[in-house]
Structure 1
């Protein structure tokens, strides 16, 4: 299953966006209002839970300075990745597109597609909070 947000224009350099996203503690600022729990486990791993949903643990899988950050499920039964692709537009502007990639059976995919799409769109919309 592949889900991608629309490209979001951010009034920050690609370096600033990258540095914000590589500090995993900042993901708490991007979470939906329905967040029930957020815990930084270490510099490469955090867990979160939205109301009524199970806890999800994400760990940093890959990063390419100023262009790309990939987080993935940590030891879960449902393997997936969440990627942020950052493109410099100018010195003070960049574009970010989030993408989700996971392998699920048809029934699971049908159940989670809408909540994951909403979650991804919220993360993308909240990127405007980058200080």
Structure 2
């Protein structure tokens, strides 16, 4: 299953967006309201959306100023969440989130709505970078 957020224009440089996303603690600011969030260590955090199990994400990869990849720590829900960052001006960049996961058809049907809303909220909240 592949889902994409709308592209979000952020009034920050690609470097600032990249540095923000590489710090897992900052994801708390991007989360939807009433989401459980807990930093586990410098590369891992736990979150829980309403009505869904807790999910632990690991920082898997960072390509300076262009891409940040998070992945599920558990094989039960194998997926990645990639933030693609594109510089469009000195102090402006675009961010697009891509969710890629391998799920059975029943699981895909159950999580498609909540995950779509989740990545759209993360993208919308990118305005909070640097606040």
TM-score (norm 2): 0.96
Q: Distance in 1 between matches of 2:54 and 2:26?
A: 18
Q: Distance in 2 between matches of 1:6 and 1:31?
A: 16
Q: Secondary structure at the match of 1:96?
A: strand
- Name the residue aligned to 2:103: 104
- Name the residue aligned to 2:17: 17
Q: Secondary structure at the match of 1:78?
A: coil
Listed as ranges, the matches of 1:61-80 within 5 Å are 61-80=60-79
Q: Secondary structure at the match of 1:69?
A: strand
Runs of 4+ residues deviating >6 angstroms: none
Gaps of 5+ in 1: none
What CA RMSD, in Å, does the superposition of the two structures yield over aligned residues? 0.8
Note the C-alpha offset of 1:51. Answer: 2.7
Note the C-alpha offset of 1:76. Answer: 3.7
Note the C-alpha offset of 1:50. Answer: 2.1
Note the C-alpha offset of 1:39. Answer: 1.0
Give the count of matched residue pairs: 130
Q: Secondary structure at the match of 2:25?
A: helix
Q: Secondary structure at the match of 1:58?
A: strand
Deviates more, 1:49-58 or 1:82-91: 49-58
